[in-house]
Amino acid sequence: MKRSLAGWVLALAIVWLAAGCGQTNNTFQPNTGAFISYLAPSRASAGGPAFTLTLTGAGFVSGTVVQWNGQNRPTTFVNTGQVTAAITAADIATVGTAAVNSLNPSKGPTDNGLSNTITFFIDAASNPIPTISSLSTTTVTSPAAGFDLTITGTNFMTSSIVYWNAATLTSLTPKSVTGSTQIVVTIPSSLVASAGTAVVSVFNPAPGGGTSNGVTFTITVTSGPTGARSAAPIAAPDAGTVAAAGSSSGSGAGIAAQDTPAISGNGRFVAYSGLLPGSSGGSTQIFLHDTCAGADAGCVAGTVLVSVGADGSAGDGASSAPAISADGRYVAFSSTAGNFTAAGAPSGRQIYLRDTCVGAAGACVLGTQLISTDAGGALAGAENILPSISASGRFVAFLSVTPSRAGEVAAGGAGAPNSGYRQVFVRDTCIGAGGCTPQTTRISLQPGDAPAGGAATGPALSGDARRLALAGRDATLFTPGAMIDDSFFHALIQKTNP
């Protein structure tokens, strides 16, 4: 009897619990409205304009309302498979997401009218693709000074960049941007120094953005630099010119010998000094002329500026004494300019090496490097002149002269302090050599207790850089044990009478 009573109590408890559960207020209901398959568009850029959003699916009715983050938006019924909604600019003002659903009129307490929800993406603002309609001029006669070019078009931005020549993608920062339709950019003289064509385009950065259409700019050449005279053996009347003695402005005046043009091993390229047109009394520059001698039929003779600053402008000091590699690609020269490298340059004349990229196989970046530099400080305060270059362009020899006569002559390596005497150095640039560290080696030092007399004479480096010739007064002119690339330099000493 007790067991039977316990069983009845348990049964009643279960019934009571079941009844209690049935009396709870369970409000969950499945969606009873339309079904959304997709949105068009499904994303937009933040800060964009108002637009019409199309919802495609099934089950839409004439009273369907589109909701954006739970808020109703003006809705147009198209058919049972499609509705549209007006989305405001404020709805997509910031980056993020929005929940989009539709709401059909309710038919009763068990019909919530809701559809499924689809996420709409609001992306970071996308920059437009620019277009060019015209240039203020599409031709120039070279040599010419730098000039301002006005570009007219659409979708220009303050962050736009002008590209000059699609092949090299030389980038120029606009001088000014007026609205979205006009850009003014300064074209440096170095970009129009040789005959040919360039393609001008405008680039807008990401997000979005892209490159505009290109407009062709034509450069014609009529003559060599101002004050230059024709030089044999260049065949063309205006091809290849030689300046008179280089400018002596800047420190070290009177040290450098009169300029002589340099010719490549195949006779095609000639490097020389001269003045840019309209720069009477200005600084001499270094030019490289391609005569096209022995080149393919499609070659166009022209001249390029070698003494080019890091910003694309001409050198801001006098340049002289060019020396050229066998293939015409590398040109070494002496200059007082300080704008060839981003880091600037020491005072006085320095030796530089310019990679013109002439005949380069594959990608090549135009650039200029300082040659007259060493870790030991032997070149501090020196005037560095009269470079000589190896056939490959890897090695450059030059003469270093210090105006001060203070200090003692120190025998030994390149790291010894400069004594105020004429010294010859060779720089290994490591061009074309893997696992190589650039270094400067002193090859000679002036012996005795007084500088040598006579005009300064520079070194002559053999094509393979294994031999070096130098005029000197004493057989002990050369530093014992000077080495470069594990090869000794063998000097040919020219003995002269006091």
Q: pLDDT tens digits, residue range 235-254?
A: 232 333 333 333 333 333 33
Structure-model confidence comparison of residues 70 and 433, the more confident one: 70
Q: How far apart are CA 311 and CA 172, in angstroms?
A: 9
Q: For position 411, what pLDDT does the model report?
A: 35
Q: For position 95, what pLDDT does the model report?
A: 87
DSSP 287-336: EEEE--TT--TT---EEEESSB-TTSSBPSS-EEEEEE-TTS-EEEEEE-
Q: For position 5, what pLDDT does the model report?
A: 53
Q: For position 421, what pLDDT does the model report?
A: 65
Q: How far apart are CA 151 and CA 200, in angstroms?
A: 9
CA atoms within 13 A on the CB side of 426: 31
Cα dihedral 223/224/229/233 (nearest 10): -90
- Residue 399: band (very low, low, confident or very high) from pLDDT cuts 50, 70, 90: confident
Cut 0.75: pTM above it:
no
pLDDT digits (tens, 9 = 90+) for 133-175: 999 998 888 767 788 999 999 999 998 999 887 555 678 889 8
Give the residue-averaged pLDDT of 479-486: 45
Query: Across the chain, what does the average pLDDT equal?
Result: 75
pLDDT digits (tens, 9 = 90+) for 295-349: 777 777 778 888 888 777 788 888 999 999 998 999 999 999 988 887 777 888 9
Q: For position 244, what pLDDT does the model report?
A: 33
Q: What is the largest CA-CA distance in the chain?
A: 146
pLDDT digits (tens, 9 = 90+) for 110-130: 889 899 999 999 887 778 889
Could you give the domains of the chain?
A: 35-123 (2.60.40.10), 131-221 (2.60.40.10), 224-351 (no CATH), 371-498 (no CATH)
State what percent of residues in the chain have pLDDT above 90: 29
Q: For position 435, what pLDDT does the model report?
A: 84
Q: For position 183, what pLDDT does the model report?
A: 95
Q: Which of 231-240, 297-306, 371-380, 450-459 has the lowest mean pLDDT?
A: 231-240
Q: For position 397, what pLDDT does the model report?
A: 92
How many C-beta atoms surround the C-beta of residue 228 within 10 A?
19
Structure-model confidence comparison of residues 191 and 333, the more confident one: 333
The dihedral of CA 248, 251, 254, 256: what is its sign?
negative
3-class state of residue 403 by DSSP: coil
Q: For position 6, what pLDDT does the model report?
A: 53
DSSP state of 282: S
User: Edge to edge, what strands does the sheet with 176-178 contain?
Assistant: 131-135, 147-154, 182-187, 176-178
